[in-house]
A and B are shown apart, each in its own frame.
Chain A
């Protein structure tokens, strides 16, 4: 795969995300030396100095592997996603935000106006002049531009075709190391690439598969919040009325959170073939509510004060209803 005997090229980019994905990559410890030994790192803003124009100058398809983390929040994120797609042979959506929108995509429940109000006019903000970001600004040095803020957060595959998905917030370091090993084996001709579109660095089942807590048939009579209870350390959290996302979340993390007594929050996203993560989680949780009386069911549901947030915490950008796509021009329901 390498050209002219030189090392294959590697890039990593950080779009709308917290930076945790970058740290997770560094957390593979000495394995990072393998990356350096086998790849020529051509673009990785967090680790080395690089300019967009350097990437633009590269021939199309000249980067072998790009790990793209972060969601598409603004026009700069999208532009770089398009640029890297053009330049890369293999583009990996890396981390929850690139795969499913991640936490930033919870913003899709509201308007950008509401977001700005909260950020620039909130109770914790000191902004006496009421400054708001402006796409353009005439400064003494010349016209300044900042990227356009999109009305909704998109996933990477909503702007460019993606070859592989590697979920997690962040992806677990051992999984990253395993993927790097795999890529090295592929380079050495010892392994084949997974089929395009595959999820890599994760399991085929859901978090419960890796969770060691004891499980019974489920009957939920009330939902409680973890700060209000002392959960049984050995029993399934969902059975204790805690809204653990484990049953619907792809395995691969080793069930770290539930094993440590915290709820699974769903960062590894939906299982294979699932169209809408929140719907799967919601239908499962609702199905095991132990009541046939609507008033009683409503009372039990009051224990989930923010269902949309609870069921789509990391997955709103990839949801059926709040996917961050562009506005539709017209309805197609009626054939003229």
Chain B
């Protein structure tokens, strides 16, 4: 039985633009593959590279970072900070053996539901073609999502 590989992509969205673009894609019933799972942030500037690393380390095959177009940030200029972090992160991920196509930065305004859907569709196909993120020697860090167990979980 040959089963098509279904990648899982974590998407980070900005409350003001891309999350609304996702809402708009929904309202307009624009279809895209179910492989993406979105997380809402207030701004792409909130995107801590740790989130990307955590997603990749936890089994995601790709990460899509989305924000307002340059010059259109709800908080004036914070998306530029996201862009700087992304450009540096991408260089580092390449050194760590993660294909650059697995982590993407996409600008999508609140009006661009169709464009966001297109970008998601394209990225899912791209990551599908790459195959699962091959961790080789690396295992997912232990699951640590409860306040009471945090202390033990954070390595010094």
Contact = CB atoms under 8 A, between A and B. Distances in A.
A–B proximity contact (CB within 8 A): yes
Contact of B91 (A289, A307, A325): A307
Contacts of A282: 49, 85, 88-89, 92
A167 B59 CA distance: 30
A140 interface: no
B155 A333 contact: no
B85 A275 contact: no
B126 interface: no
Interface residues of A, number: 57
A294 interface: yes
Contacts of B49: 279, 282-283
A292 B45 CA distance: 13
Contacts of A278: 92
Interface stretch (B22-30, B113-121, B132-140): B132-140
A275 to B, nearest CB: 5
Contacts of B84: 286-287, 289, 291, 297
Nearest to B133: A331
B156 interface: yes
A321 B96 contact: yes
Interface string A310-336: 010000001111111111100111100
Given A195-B151, A196-B152, A269-B156, A323 B8 contact: no
A304 B151 CA distance: 34
A197 B151 CA distance: 7
Contact of B88 (A152, A157, A307): A307
Q: Which of A196, A273, A297, A320 has the most CB of B within 10 A?
A: A320
Nearest to A98: B156
B138 A325 contact: yes
A280 B137 CA distance: 24
Contacts of A276: 50, 53-54
B140 to A, nearest CB: 6
Given A109-B95, A307-B91, A311-B92, A320 B137 contact: no
Q: Which of A93, A280, A282, A334 has the most CB of B within 10 A?
A: A282
Contact of A327 (B59, B137, B141): B137
B156 A301 contact: no
B70 interface: yes
B32 interface: no
Given A287-B81, A307-B92, A333-B59, A99 B87 contact: no
Given A285-B88, A308-B96, A275 B152 contact: no
Contact of B59 (A151, A306, A318, A331): A331
Given A109-B95, A275-B50, A333-B59, A294 B139 contact: no
A39 interface: no
A297 B83 contact: yes
Contacts of B151: 195-197
B48 interface: yes
B86 to A, nearest CB: 8
Contacts of A152: 137-138
Interface in B51-78: 53-54, 56-57, 59-61, 70, 77
B48 A283 contact: yes
B55 to A, nearest CB: 9
A298 interface: yes
Contacts of B81: 286-287
Contacts of B59: 331-333
Given A199-B156, A325-B139, A320 B95 contact: no
B154 interface: yes
B112 interface: no
Given A269-B156, A308-B95, A286 B137 contact: no
Contacts of B50: 275-276, 279-280, 283, 320
A245 interface: no
Given A286-B88, A327-B135, 16 more contacts: A100-B155, A167-B156, A197-B151, A269-B156, A275-B54, A283-B50, A286-B89, A292-B83, A297-B84, A304-B88, A306-B95, A308-B95, A321-B93, A321-B98, A328-B138, A332-B59
Nearest 9 pairs of A and B residues by beta carbon: A165-B156, A325-B139, A308-B95, A320-B53, A333-B59, A279-B50, A307-B92, A286-B88, A286-B84
23 contacts: A99-B155, A151-B137, A197-B152, A197-B154, A197-B156, A275-B54, A278-B92, A280-B50, A282-B85, A291-B84, A292-B70, A292-B77, A297-B83, A301-B87, A306-B95, A308-B95, A320-B53, A321-B56, A327-B139, A328-B139, A328-B140, A331-B59, A334-B8
